[in-house]
């Protein structure tokens, strides 16, 4: 059943989890000054689903009202229904919470829907565990984080050596549990999550079955240690720091110091083939519906905010309009790709529907460049105005206010409004949190060094491109080959 924000906060408070931040062990993530702002924001997302139940909740025949992110899509309509709720939530945070709890919900719904893949090679128990776990997360409306990447220690080493002792691997087994050791990076949202899910990232070599693991554990499981990066959350009024005060979702390194994972929470146990396959049979198409909705919310917000930056200082320069048009273009191309992917949705197997992956495959390596460009465009449009921004406290200081009102007003707006817009713009592109957010956009779906080649490999599987050349050079208008227009199920994981 869908939880309220209050119920969510009660669940993650002082539950014994081992979270380190700034050299200290955090007693209670809901009261820590660097974390409580974001904890409250996530609680608001839980409340939102009740306030806007029509968009955010669906009636699950077994569980009652659950968030749309738990839908296992069985039709194009299911995907469209899911989008309505995801879009509403993403707009409340301008797409700045990349790993709002609905992210992993969507992933788990995809995995449970494709339980047939987990069941390969006699892994029926792992598949059943995955199906049961997805139901469990939906039933208790849990917030989950995930860690799928092995730590980088020495890029000179082969993948196998690199995996050796550092990456998460199985070191033993009891009657009821497997014992896991190693590290994974980075678990975004970790301090604010109820559970950690470990699932495949890149395939592991066949001779490293001990590294081919997928499982889930509660955050307070003994042996689990979370080391947060520096906090970029600030304890400041929302006027001064609208995003840093509320949207630092954190990223944590996860250490597994001989963690016992109950066997009924293990989804893959030492099978590199399943490990590789679960990420190449719909994962991209499924999760990228979520991430594209979020990216769209962020790009639309960027366009709207940049437009206001220009308006408050009355900038009629055609150069500014050109830059604004460029930002809008990125938003619109993202929206078009999302529409195209949903329109082209089809059954991927086991009765599960995911979008057409091709538009997403194109967006995946391209979006990071667009976001980097958006940042550049904000700097170009904002100039020094990004820094001539009194704080709320300064605006309320009688000795300063007349000077601020006189010299720092905008074209048709007062000094307060001008400061509000430009402070938001700086927090969006220039603050420490903003820098982290751009790093996130660059890497959260792997780097373009990996994803452009994957796009090329998939394109080659889908169509004989030599025919395209032949149509022009040999056949002319006589017989253009249209066979390629038929979509094939290919995925790149």
Our CB check for ligand FAD shows the closer of 58 and 96 to be 96
Our CB check for ligand FAD shows the closer of 145 and 389 to be 145
Token digits of residue 240: 């001064």
β pairing state of 64-67 and 57-60? antiparallel
Give the contact letters, 146-165, x = binds to ligand FAD (CB under 6 A), - = no.
xxxx--x-------------
Our CB check for ligand FAD shows the closer of 368 and 382 to be 368
375 binds ligand FAD (CB under 6 A): no
Our CB check for ligand FAD shows the closer of 418 and 436 to be 436
Give the contact letters, 201-240, x = binds to ligand FAD (CB under 6 A), - = no.
----------------------------------------
β pairing state of 195-198 and 251-262? unpaired
Our CB check for ligand FAD shows the closer of 187 and 327 to be 187
Our CB check for ligand FAD shows the closer of 153 and 400 to be 153
Of 178, 156, 152, residue with least CA distance to 166? 152
Name the segment binding ligand FAD (CB under 6 A); options: 14-22, 65-73, 437-445, 472-480: 437-445
Our CB check for ligand FAD shows the closer of 201 and 382 to be 201
Token digits of residue 436: 């982290």
191 binds ligand FAD (CB under 6 A): no
Name the segment binding ligand FAD (CB under 6 A); options: 75-83, 140-148, 220-228, 304-312: 140-148
Question: Distance from CA of residue 62 to its chain's centroid?
Answer: 28
Q: In angstroms, give the least distance from the CB of 141 to ligand FAD.
A: 20
444 binds ligand FAD (CB under 6 A): yes
Residue of 41, 100, 105, 188 interacting with ligand FAD (CB under 6 A): 188
Q: In angstroms, give the least distance from the CB of 202 to ligand FAD.
A: 8
Token digits of residue 42: 């996530």
Residue of 178, 186, 288, 429 interacting with ligand FAD (CB under 6 A): 186
447 binds ligand FAD (CB under 6 A): yes
Q: In angstroms, give the least distance from the CB of 74 to ligand FAD.
A: 28
Q: Residue 258: what are its φ and ψ, rounded to 5°?
A: 55, 65
Of 276, 290, 353, residue with least CA distance to 118? 276
DSSP string, 132-163: HHHHHHHHHT--EEE--BPPPS-TTS-HHHHH
Name the segment binding ligand FAD (CB under 6 A); options: 111-119, 161-169, 278-286, 432-440: 432-440
Our CB check for ligand FAD shows the closer of 232 and 426 to be 232
Q: In angstroms, give the least distance from the CB of 257 to ligand FAD.
A: 19
How many residues touch ligand FAD under the rule CB under 6 A: the total is 21
Residue of 446, 454, 455, 458 interacting with ligand FAD (CB under 6 A): 446
DSSP string, 228-281: EPPP------TTT-TTTTT----EEEEEEEEEEEEGGGEEEES-HHHHHHTTSS
Q: In angstroms, give the least distance from the CB of 205 to ligand FAD.
A: 16
Q: In angstroms, give the least distance from the CB of 1 to ligand FAD.
A: 26
Our CB check for ligand FAD shows the closer of 133 and 440 to be 440
Of 167, 154, 177, residue with least CA distance to 272? 167
Q: Which residue, chain included where needed, has tokens 């032949």?
A: 470
**First vs last Cα of the chain: how many Å apart?**
31
Residue of 91, 263, 450, 463 interacting with ligand FAD (CB under 6 A): 450
C-alpha 78/C-alpha 72 separation (Å) is 8
218 with 143: CB under 8 angstroms?
no
439 binds ligand FAD (CB under 6 A): yes
Residue of 175, 449, 473, 478 interacting with ligand FAD (CB under 6 A): 449
68 binds ligand FAD (CB under 6 A): no
Our CB check for ligand FAD shows the closer of 109 and 415 to be 109
65 binds ligand FAD (CB under 6 A): no
436 binds ligand FAD (CB under 6 A): yes
Query: What are the residues facing 352 on neighbouring strands?
Result: 349
Name the segment binding ligand FAD (CB under 6 A); options: 28-36, 180-188, 291-299, 300-308: 180-188
Q: Which residue, chain included where needed, has tokens 């009891």?
A: 174
Query: What are the residues facing 346 on neighbouring strands?
Result: 354
C-alpha 75/C-alpha 452 separation (Å) is 29
C-alpha 103/C-alpha 141 separation (Å) is 13
DSSP 8-state class, residue 214: E
Of 214, 234, 185, 221, residue with least CA distance to 278? 214
DSSP 8-state class, residue 471: I
Token digits of residue 83: 């989008």
493 with 276: CB under 8 angstroms?
yes
305 binds ligand FAD (CB under 6 A): no
The dihedral formed by the CA atoms of 14, 18, 22 and 27, expressed in degrees to the nearest 10: 20
Binding site for ligand FAD (CB under 6 A): 99, 146-149, 152, 185-188, 251, 436, 439-440, 443-444, 446-450
């Amino acid at each position: 059943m869908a939880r309220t924000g209050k119920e969510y906060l009660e669940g993650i408070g002082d539950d014994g989890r081992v979270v380190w931040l700034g050299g200290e062990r955090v007693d209670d993530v809901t009261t820590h000054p660097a974390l409580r702002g974001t904890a409250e924001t996530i609680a608001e997302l839980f409340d939102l689903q009740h306030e806007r139940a029509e968009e955010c909740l669906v009636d699950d025949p077994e569980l009652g009202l659950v968030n749309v992110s738990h839908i296992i899509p069985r039709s194009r309509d299911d995907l469209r229904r899911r989008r309505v709720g995801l879009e509403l939530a993403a707009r409340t945070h301008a797409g700045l919470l990349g790993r709002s709890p609905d992210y992993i919900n969507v992933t788990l719904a995809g995995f449970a829907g494709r339980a047939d893949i987990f069941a390969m090679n006699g892994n029926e128990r792992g598949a059943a565990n995955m199906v049961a776990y997805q139901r469990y997360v939906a039933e208790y409306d849990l917030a989950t984080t995930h860690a799928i990447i092995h730590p980088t220690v020495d890029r000179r080493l082969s993948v196998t050596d690199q995996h050796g002792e550092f990456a998460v691997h199985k070191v033993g087994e009891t009657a009821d549990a497997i014992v896991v050791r190693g590290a994974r990076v980075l678990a975004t949202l970790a301090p604010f999550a109820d559970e950690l899910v470990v699932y495949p990232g890149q395939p592991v070599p066949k001779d490293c079955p001990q590294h081919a693991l997928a499982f889930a554990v509660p955050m307070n499981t003994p042996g689990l240690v979370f080391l947060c990066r520096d906090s970029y959350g600030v304890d400041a009024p929302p006027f001064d720091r609208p995003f840093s005060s509320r949207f630092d979702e954190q990223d944590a390194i996860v250490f597994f110091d001989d963690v016992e994972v109950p066997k009924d929470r293990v989804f893959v146990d030492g099978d590199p083939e399943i490990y590789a396959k679960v990420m190449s049979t719909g994962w991209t198409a499924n999760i990228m519906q979520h991430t594209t909705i979020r990216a769209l919310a962020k790009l639309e917000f960027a366009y709207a905010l940049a437009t206001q930056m220009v308006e408050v200082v009355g900038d009629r320069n055609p150069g500014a309009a050109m830059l604004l048009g460029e930002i809008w273009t990125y938003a619109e191309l993202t929206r078009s790709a999302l529409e195209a992917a949903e329109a082209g949705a089809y059954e991927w197997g086991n009765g599960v529907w995911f979008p057409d992956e091709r538009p997403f495959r194109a967006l995946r390596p391209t979006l990071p460049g667009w976001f980097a460009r958006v940042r550049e465009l904000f700097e170009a449009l904002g100039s020094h105005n990004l820094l001539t921004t009194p704080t709320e406290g300064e605006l309320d200081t009688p000795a300063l206010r007349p000077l601020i009102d006189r010299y720092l007003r905008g074209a048709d707006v007062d000094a307060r409004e001008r400061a509000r817009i430009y402070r938001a713009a700086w927090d969006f592109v220039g603050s420490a949190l903003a820098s982290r957010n751009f790093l996130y956009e660059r890497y959260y779906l792997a780097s373009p060094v990996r994803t452009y080649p994957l796009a090329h490999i998939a394109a080659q599987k889908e169509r004989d491109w030599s025919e395209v050349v032949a149509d022009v050079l040999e056949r002319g208008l006589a017989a253009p080959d249209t066979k390629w227009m038929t979509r094939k199920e290919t995925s790149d994981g």
